């Protein structure tokens, strides 16, 4: 079978070669109709841009690209809160790339975008990376992973199992939440509030399940009134904590699904004149802010930097050996006990 070229795509889509090039490179002023026609032809023919073909033929770009959710990242930057999770991810991946003579670029793509595939293909066409690191929620987007796999682009998925598509690099969020809740139960707490994360993320569901697992194992009831919704932002943590502490029989401890919401809980408790650890608090992720708070927050340490480093190592390995056999890599979490948890008085 002859090699599929950009001219084949142009003929199948009924457009000029220049139009195909503009679509593949994500250039502006291309109508949605033309984008759709070109991308349908690309998918149908299995077209791979010529530079990617050269990479597949043995030429390496010595470049990895990490894709992160545009909306969450920009919102955090604009608010002045920063992105500790991303900082940790970049720390692990960039240092690993540097050690192997690689470079790494960080791209923001809207997770809910209607033209997500087109934007990602444009990144591939322009940069020709040796592999892609997907962070949540992109790593949970099976259609995106399948699209990259069809184009023979090695993929490492952070925070989730690979499920036979790419490399999965993750921790056991369910067991981590269970261990955090067991810690509070062991201190004598029976009314334990839980601030959930955004339902967009698989980790949010797993952490809620782990919280419930621990309660049931201890013979305690899972009280839905003690579960407050959040979305990983400080503001949602404030609203959730206000709701929990307004209950007639308020919780004596709270497990928050990330550090930002836990810090919000600390602020709300202080404003209400409730001391911590009189109200015990446990967080998730263990980013620098919770280590510097007063008191320091007991937290599940998510190995973000280690996961990113492993993801980069796996992709660099593929570029050297050509072996992209999917595999899963479970990394250990830790429970860092600090001054925000104490025995129930």
Query: Does one domain contain both 120 and 151?
Result: yes
Question: Residues of the chain with pLDDT > 70: what percent?
Answer: 94
Query: Does one domain contain both 255 and 201?
Result: yes
Among 72-86, 127-141, 209-223, 250-264, the least confident range: 72-86
Residue with tokens 């919000």: 264
Each residue of 182-225: pLDDT tens digit? 999 999 999 999 999 998 899 999 999 999 999 999 999 999 99
Query: Does one domain contain both 70 and 167?
Result: yes
Question: Residue 38 is encoded by which pair of tokens?
Answer: 């070109």
Query: Does one domain contain both 75 and 109?
Result: yes
For β-strands 63-69 and 131-134, DSSP reports them as parallel
Query: Does one domain contain both 197 and 100?
Result: no
SS3 state at 207: helix
Q: Inform me whether the pLDDT recorded for 56 exceeds 60.
A: no
Query: Does one domain contain both 155 and 191?
Result: no
What pLDDT is recorded for position 320?
85
Q: What is the end-to-end Cα distance of the chain in Å, rounded?
A: 75
Contact 238, 244 (CB under 8 A): no
Query: Does one domain contain both 181 and 127?
Result: no
pTM: 0.80
Please report, for the chain, how many H helices and E strands are present, in that order: 14, 12
pLDDT mean over 49-77: 73
148 located within any domain: yes
Residues linked to residue 65 through DSSP beta bridges, in sequence order: 105, 132
- Measured between alpha carbons, how far is residue 73 from residues 90, 135, 300 in Å? 13, 12, 22
Phi, psi of 290 (to 5 degrees): -75, -20
Query: Does one domain contain both 239 and 158?
Result: no
**For residue 166, what pLDDT band results from cuts at 50, 70 and 90?**
very high
């Amino acid at each position: 079978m002859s090699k599929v070229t950009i001219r084949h795509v142009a003929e199948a889509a009924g457009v000029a070669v220049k139009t195909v090039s503009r679509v593949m490179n994500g250039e502006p002023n291309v109508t949605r109709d033309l984008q759709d026609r070109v991308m349908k032809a690309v998918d149908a023919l299995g077209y791979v841009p010529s530079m990617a073909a050269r990479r597949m033929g043995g030429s390496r770009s010595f470049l990895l690209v990490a894709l992160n959710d545009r909306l969450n990242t920009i919102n955090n930057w604009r608010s002045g809160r920063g992105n500790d999770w991303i900082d940790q991810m970049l720390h692990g991946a960039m240092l690993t790339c540097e050690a192997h003579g690689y470079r790494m670029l960080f791209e923001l793509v809207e997770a809910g975008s209607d033209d997500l595939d087109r934007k990602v293909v444009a990144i591939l066409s322009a940069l020709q990376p040796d592999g892609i690191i997907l962070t949540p929620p992109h790593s949970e987007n099976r259609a995106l992973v399948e699209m990259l796999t069809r184009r023979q682009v090695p993929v490492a998925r952070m925070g989730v199992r690979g499920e036979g598509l790419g490399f999965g690099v993750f921790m056991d969020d369910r067991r981590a939440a269970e261990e955090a809740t067991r810690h509070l139960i062991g201190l004598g707490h029976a009314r334990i509030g839980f601030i959930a994360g955004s339902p967009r993320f698989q980790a949010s569901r797993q952490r809620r399940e782990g919280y419930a697992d621990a309660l049931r194992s201890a013979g305690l009831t899972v009280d839905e009134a003690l579960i407050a919704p959040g979305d990983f932002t400080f503001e949602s943590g404030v609203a959730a904590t206000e709701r929990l502490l307004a209950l007639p029989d308020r919780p004596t401890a709270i497990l928050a699904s990330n550090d930002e919401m836990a810090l919000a809980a600390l602020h709300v408790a202080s404003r209400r004149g409730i001391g911590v650890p009189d109200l015990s608090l446990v967080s998730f992720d263990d980013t620098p802010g919770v280590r510097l708070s007063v008191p320091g927050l007991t937290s599940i340490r998510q190995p973000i930097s280690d996961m990113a480093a492993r993801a980069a190592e796996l992709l660099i390995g593929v570029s050297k050996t050509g072996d992209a056999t999917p595999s899963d890599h479970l990394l250990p979490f830790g429970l860092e006990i600090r001054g925000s948890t104490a025995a129930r008085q």
